[in-house]
Structures are given as structure tokens and as C-alpha cells.
Chain A
Amino acid sequence: MAIRERLSGNEAIAVAMKQINPDVVAAFPITPSTEIPQYFSQFVSNGAVQTEFVPVESEHSAMSACIGAQAAGGRTMTATSANGLALMWEMLYIASSSRLPVTLACVNRALSGPLNIHNDHSDSMGARDSGWIQLYSENNQEAYDNFIQAVRIGEHKDVVLPVMVCQDGFITSHAVENLDLLEDEKVKAFVGEYNPEHYLLNTKEQIAVGPLDLPNYFFEHRRQQAQAMMNAKQVILDVAKEFEKVTGRKYDLFEEYKLSDAEIAIVIINSTAGTAKTVVDELREKGIKAGLLKIRVFRPFPQEEMVAALKHVKALAVMDKAEAFSGVGGPLFADVKAALYGVADGIKVINYIYGLGGRDVKADNIELVYNELQNIVKTGQIGETYRYVGVRE
């Protein structure tokens, strides 16, 4: 029996952490993720977990402490947002290249400046090349479910990579919503014991972590790391299947919503997907064949699967909640367009930058996007591909 609950997104992650009961959590507070270590430190003080909680003095140290503890052989976790993630940057690459499956709750917030505490995806999108697996969550339920699955994905012997579980700052992190929790013992059974193949505290095997890696071996290590990221796709699907057996909740690389017969569609990430689904329903009632693809797994990028799901669509809008300053569009747009190139060239693809710095995304904004897609289908004219919605200019 699932436990019917109502929690904020941050509480949901803190509860997942409690149920996982990791060896080490090291964190430094930053809005809007502060509540995660705050709640978790209460669990530590109350004896609800056996975790060593390390209240470090910066996010660089938080990630460093996680790296040290994970290398020693412990299961470790942290949480951060925006500039906190930016301060971890150097160490994000150390964690992934040292093949340390740390789990990080990223509560998405605009990366300064100008200084802003609200949601967009510029923090995690900036970290997309750091070698971390990235899972995104539409609501509190998905944040909770993804966080539990992340442990199994990262620690799998074919992967051994760190995983970042993202959700929208304030929009879901501070909104109380219904969700179903698993019982403690079910989470415990699902994640299992962490038994790394190689670890520093193993007296039977002397190893070094993070030594100088000169031209003789560096290239091979990078190749192996890239292979691990490719392997992750199948592991993510296998873990999702197992999770579905326990919870009944189905997860994939992405979610298709009324997409199979859609003529117009959007590709979107995190909480706005929910708002967009209500718009799709309204358009469907009017007989308009609208659909939606919501990314769950952004790294590794599900290229082939995405092409198969989108290839029949006539016009597509890729929604980026981050500006990458390439001058030609956002980061998700670049990846989706590259995926379609040469295999689905008939699709007219445009990009929208939306919701930066917490600009509220209304159903009207999404409706406008679908209206533009209808125009493109009707006229055959694609026009400007790099667009903004919801901005004053």
C-alpha cells in the first residue's frame, strides 16, 4: 500500500533521502534547495537516519566531501541550486571522471546574474557536459521517484556515474502537492546495499583515486566514461521497469502525451509540462492534433527514441527555459535539431525561450506556441526559428 501524502518538492526529496539512509550527506544551503539539507539534518539529529551529515562551508567543499566519501566506499548525496551548482563545477567533472555515483538534488534556479532566486534551467543546462546523468521531474511525485531510481542507475556496474535529479525551484520545490510515498522498507529493498567494486577503504585492494592521467591513458579513460553514459540508457529503462513493479508508476526516457497521432507538438522539461498538458487537452477538444514530449532523461540524450516518437510530426517547438547565448537558440533546441537532422528533415522545428528568472508561464503562453505551430503547418512558412515567449520587448 502506497502512503498517500502531501509534501513540497523539497520535502519529497528529503524524505527520499531519509528512506535511502545514505552514508554521507554534505551540503551548503542555497535558495531554493536549502530546505532539503535543513529537513535532512533534522532527520540526522532525531536519529531517523545513520548518515554522517557534513555541514560544509561552500558548495565546492560539499561536492569535494561527497567525492571523498564516495571514493572511500560510501553512498553519498547532496542538494544545491544555481550558483551553488556553479561553485561545484570543477568538482562535478572530478566526480564523473573518477566514476563516483554521487546523487545530487538540483533545484533549478536561474544562474546569476543579474541576481535572481527564481526558476529557470540555466544552472543544470550549464552542467550538461559535466558527465553527470540528468533526470528531470514535472512534479513532486516525479522528483521523489526519480531520486530513488537515481541511486540504482548511478551505482549500476555498467554505469558508475553521478546522477543529478532536477526539479523546478519554488514552482515544485515550495509547492505542497499530493504524492504517493513508498514504505521505508520498500525503498530500502529497492536501493539495496551499496557495494562498490573498488573503494579506498578496502584493505584487500590498494587503489589510487584521481591521480595524474597523462596522454598514455587519459584518452582511454574518457572513452570508457563516454561508454558508461551510453550504457546508462538501458540501465535507466531497466530500473524504471523494476520501479514500476513496486509502485505501478511508469517511467521512460521521456513521456509522450497525446503524441502518437499529433501533427503539432512541443518538447519541454519539468513543471511547465503539466501546464502544457492542460493546453493539449483543450486543443484536442477543438479537434486540433496537438501533442507533447516531456524529457525525463536529458543526459544521456535519448536521440534515436526521440526521433522515432517525433518523426510523424509536421511542426515542432522546442521549449528552452535557459538562454545559452549561442545566438541561434537554447541548448535543448540544439540537441533536438541535431537528433532530427538527416533522419526527419521534413519537420519544421522552431525554438522558444520561456520563463527565465521565474517569469510565470501561463497556459496562454503555451497556447500561443501551439497557435504558431498551426500557422506554420497552414502556411508552410517557418519564419524565425529562434523565438521568445512571455517576454516584454
Chain B
Amino acid sequence: MGKLVEIRWHGRGGQGAKTASLLLADAAFNTGKYIQGFPEYGPERMGAPITAYNRISDDKIRIHSNIYEPDYVVVVDETLLTVIDVTSGLKETGAIIINTDKAPEDVKKHLKGYKGKVCTVDARKISEDVLGKYFPNTPMLGAVVKVSNVMGEDEFMKDAKESFAHKFATKPEVIEGNMKAIQRAMQEVKGI
């Protein structure tokens, strides 16, 4: 039985957490894995907290429920730390990855004594530097691949480029920026 990795994404409507979960599913699929990528649908509006999920496995995935004991949690918007119990059920052998300009030890006070790995990455700065706009989801995607090791970095970069080429077929100018955002997030994520 191959290892099943479960990831939960917390973001706000419009930040692309759902898209990020689908891009991660895509990339893992391209490396030969079985995947699931699905959002939890609620009232869909800009700014509302949303949750999305990934399962990645070497074996066929049969379970069809939400994820309650994730291996990794990705927080795309740090204002959610005081609103949502982001570490709920999170395995201590896993990690939480937060989009913030703060160091890991500075956000720990919001994590209810979570004993696992705490990682931070400044996705806002990276996104604004390389894309000129605030799209935190692709830097977060890079950070989660780096921290979780669900696939090899080189393999992931190659697949991400193909996924972007497909997703941004009508605006190829953003592909390079997104690839840079992923690369920088992989280098800059703290707390590994």
C-alpha cells in the first residue's frame, strides 16, 4: 500500500486556493500518481473563507469525504489564523505552511500549541515582485511541494510549466512570472 498524502488548503474566495489545489493535483497526476483535488463549496463570494483539498497516492483513491486529519495544511491568507482552527486534526509528523512576512516562531502563538513543523513564505512579496500583482496561490504551490516532498522539484517544475501553458493559453506572458514565483517560494520558504 503506497503512502497517501492529504493536504488541506485554507484561503479566501478569489485568492485561488481552489485553483492551486487543482494545479497541485495536475502536477502530481503528471508524475504518475493517483490524485483528488476538490473544493468545499459554500456561499461563493470574494473574501469568504474557503477550503480545498488534495489527496495524492500511489494507489487508487476510494475515499470520498473531506479531509479531517491532513498531513499538510496550507494557509493562503494569514488573517484566517485568528478566524479558523487551521491546525485542526493536522498530523504532528506533517507541517503547516503559512503565507506571511513573519518568521515561523512569530506565528506559532496562533497555532494552538501545534507541535509539528511550521513554515512561512512571503507569497505577497514574491507575487508582487515577479507578477506585479497579488496572486498568492502559485508561490504557495511551490512552497507546499518543497515542504511536503510529494514529488521531485525538477519533475514538478517541468509539469507546472506544462500546466500553466495549458491554463494560460490565452495569456502566455504570465507563464514565466508564475514559474519564477514558484521557484522563489521554494528557495525562500522558512522553517523546513
Contact = CB atoms under 8 A, between A and B. Distances in A.
Interface of A: 6, 117-118, 138-139, 168, 170-172, 174-178, 271-272, 274-275, 277-278, 360-363
Interface stretch (B33-41, B110-118, B142-150, B183-191): B33-41
Given A118-B41, A178-B29, A278 B34 contact: no
Candidate in B39, B41, B60, B68 with the most chain A CB atoms within 10 angstroms = B41
A361 B38 contact: no
Contact of A175 (B29, B36, B60, B62): B36
Interface residues of B, number: 19
B63 interface: yes
A223 B161 CA distance: 60
B22 to A, nearest CB: 6
B4 to A, nearest CB: 10
A177 B62 CA distance: 10
A82 to B, nearest CB: 14
16 contacts: A171-B38, A171-B64, A175-B37, A176-B26, A176-B37, A178-B29, A178-B61, A275-B64, A277-B62, A278-B62, A278-B63, A361-B64, A361-B65, A362-B66, A363-B63, A363-B65
B65 A177 contact: no
A176 B65 contact: no
B41 A274 contact: no
Contact of B64 (A118, A176, A178, A271): A271
Contacts of B36: 175-177
Given A6-B29, A174-B38, A363-B65, 16 more contacts: A117-B41, A138-B64, A171-B38, A174-B39, A175-B64, A176-B25, A176-B36, A177-B35, A178-B61, A271-B64, A272-B64, A275-B62, A360-B66, A362-B65, A362-B68, A363-B63
B34 A178 contact: yes
A274 B62 contact: yes
A299 B14 CA distance: 42
A168 B64 contact: yes
Q: Which 10 A-B pairs have the closest CB atoms?
A: A175-B38, A274-B62, A271-B64, A176-B37, A6-B29, A360-B66, A274-B64, A275-B63, A362-B65, A178-B34
A5 to B, nearest CB: 9
Contacts of A360: 65-66
Contacts of B25: 6, 176
Contacts of B65: 275, 360-363
Interface of B: 22, 25-26, 29, 34-39, 41, 60-66, 68
A310 B110 CA distance: 52
Given A118-B41, A277-B62, A176 B34 contact: no
Contact of A139 (B35, B41, B64): B64
Contacts of A177: 34-36, 61
B58 to A, nearest CB: 12
A176 B66 CA distance: 14
B29 A172 contact: no
B98 to A, nearest CB: 25
Contacts of A171: 38, 64
Best-buried of B36, B39, B60 by chain A (most CB within 10 Å): B36
A153 to B, nearest CB: 25
A361 B64 CA distance: 8
A277 B34 CA distance: 17
Contacts of A176: 22, 25-26, 35-38
A269 to B, nearest CB: 12
A76 to B, nearest CB: 30
A380 B174 CA distance: 67
Contacts of B62: 139, 274-275, 277-278
Nearest to B21: A176
Nearest to B33: A178
Q: Which of B41, B65, B66 has the most CB of A within 10 A?
A: B65
A138 B65 CA distance: 13
A178 B29 CA distance: 8
Most central of B64, B66, B68 by chain A CB within 10 Å: B64
Contacts of B61: 177-178
A375 B37 CA distance: 37
A360 B42 CA distance: 13
Contacts of B34: 177-178
Contacts of A274: 62-64
Contact of A6 (B35, B60, B66, B68): B35
A277 B29 CA distance: 23
A244 to B, nearest CB: 18
Contacts of B68: 362
Nearest to A172: B64
Nearest to B34: A178
A362 B69 CA distance: 11
A361 B25 CA distance: 22
A362 B68 CA distance: 9
Contacts of A272: 64
B63 A178 contact: no
B35 A178 contact: yes
Nearest to A140: B36
Contacts of A6: 25-26, 29, 35
Nearest to A168: B64
Contacts of A174: 38-39, 41
